[in-house]
């Protein structure tokens, strides 16, 4: 077995609407507040949301060719550098835009993105494979789900920076976690296993759930539910989980906030799992 299809199409519109609603309440100081996204401030994260929405519409809806990299991509490090450069170029240029102009742009781009994803068929092939899941070809539902996690976690970065607290809709985070957990088998690909070995992942809080990593047929796979006799169990809150998967916890913070029981060797790779490229 493996994880079932997660349909995020219906959640894009209310999520982007909620982000726009918050952006329209911010004052000039709020727009310059630092965020957990490295050196980016709230204005930069909002600009990135505009960028990713317009990229999806341009490359996927409109079938425009993505820009060719200036340097050959010979591996993951080159790919990450390419994505970092794409992000940075846009964010720097967007610093000349007013907060109102940026919010207006995102309101329109977010609505058009929702229109587009709502019309897609989940089983179609994805335009881009989900690399952090270790896939060279992906189904469209996972690619769309990846896009949803991008919108949600950047929106959460803004909310935390301005003291707005978590999104009020817990189902959105549950969808984010369901998509993010697809990174685990790839993260465990070099972890030696034994037939029947399993790792339990228990997430508590408003968006709670239990999942099981199983070693089967020489590889790791993940499905819903809690295994009967796991070699290790990792327990964390849903707030800790999304921060872990989206690169917002240091290794020390992850070790302190994820409770590990059983054979730690089977649980530690979880602490390095990421559901983002950068």
The architecture in CATH of the region 9-168 reads Up-down Bundle (1.20)
Percent of the chain with pLDDT over 90: 83
Is the pLDDT reported for residue 1 higher than 60? no
Is the pLDDT reported for residue 76 higher than 80? no
Which residues make up the CATH 3.30.1050.10 domain(s) of the chain?
A: 183-271
Percent of the chain with pLDDT over 70: 99
Distances (CA, A) of 108 to 30, 49, 57, 157: 22, 12, 12, 21
pLDDT of residue 193: 86
pLDDT of residue 10: 98
Which residues make up the CATH 1.20.120.450 domain(s) of the chain?
A: 9-168
Whether the CB-CB separation of 222 and 185 falls below 8 Å is answered with: yes
Q: DSSP 3-state assignment of 204?
A: strand
Confidence of residue 81 (pLDDT cuts 50, 70, 90): confident
Q: Which two tokens stand for residue 141?
A: 């539902």
pLDDT of residue 120: 98
Is the pLDDT reported for residue 175 higher than 90? yes
Region 36-49: mean pLDDT is 96
Dist CA 97 CA 74 (whole Å): 35
Q: What is 183-271's CATH topology? A: Nonspecific Lipid-transfer Protein; Chain A (3.30.1050)
Number of neighbouring beta carbons within 10 Å of residue 2: 10
Is the pLDDT reported for residue 196 higher than 90? no
Minimum mean pLDDT among 85-89, 174-178, 202-206, 256-260: which range? 85-89
């Amino acid at each position: 077995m493996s994880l079932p299809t997660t349909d995020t199409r219906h959640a894009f519109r209310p999520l982007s609407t909620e982000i726009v609603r918050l952006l329209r309440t911010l004052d000039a100081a709020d727009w310059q507040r630092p965020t957990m996204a490295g050196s980016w401030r709230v204005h930069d994260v909002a600009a990135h949301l505009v960028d990713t929405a317009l990229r999806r519409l341009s490359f996927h809806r409109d079938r425009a060719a993505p820009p060719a990299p200036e340097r050959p991509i010979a591996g993951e490090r080159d790919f990450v550098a390419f994505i970092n450069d794409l992000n940075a170029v846009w964010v720097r240029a967007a610093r000349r835009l007013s907060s109102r102009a940026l919010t207006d742009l995102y309101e329109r781009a977010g609505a058009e993105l929702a229109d587009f994803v709502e019309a897609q068929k989940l089983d179609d092939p994805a335009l881009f494979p989900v690399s952090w899941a270790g896939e060279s070809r992906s189904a469209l539902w996972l690619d769309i789900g990846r896009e949803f996690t991008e919108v949600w976690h950047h929106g959460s970065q803004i909310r935390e920076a301005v003291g707005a607290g978590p999104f009020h809709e817990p189902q959105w985070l549950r969808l984010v976690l369901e998509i993010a957990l697809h990174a685990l088998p790839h993260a465990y690909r070099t972890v030696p296993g034994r037939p029947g070995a399993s790792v339990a992942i228990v997430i508590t809080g408003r968006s709670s759930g239990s999942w099981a990593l199983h070693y089967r047929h020489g590889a790791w796979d993940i499905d819903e539910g809690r295994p009967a006799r796991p070699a290790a169990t990792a327990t964390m809150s849903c707030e800790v989980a999304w921060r872990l998967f989206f690169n917002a916890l240091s290794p020390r913070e992850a070790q302190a906030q994820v409770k590990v029981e059983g054979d730690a060797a089977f649980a530690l790779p979880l602490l390095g799992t990421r559901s983002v490229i950068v």
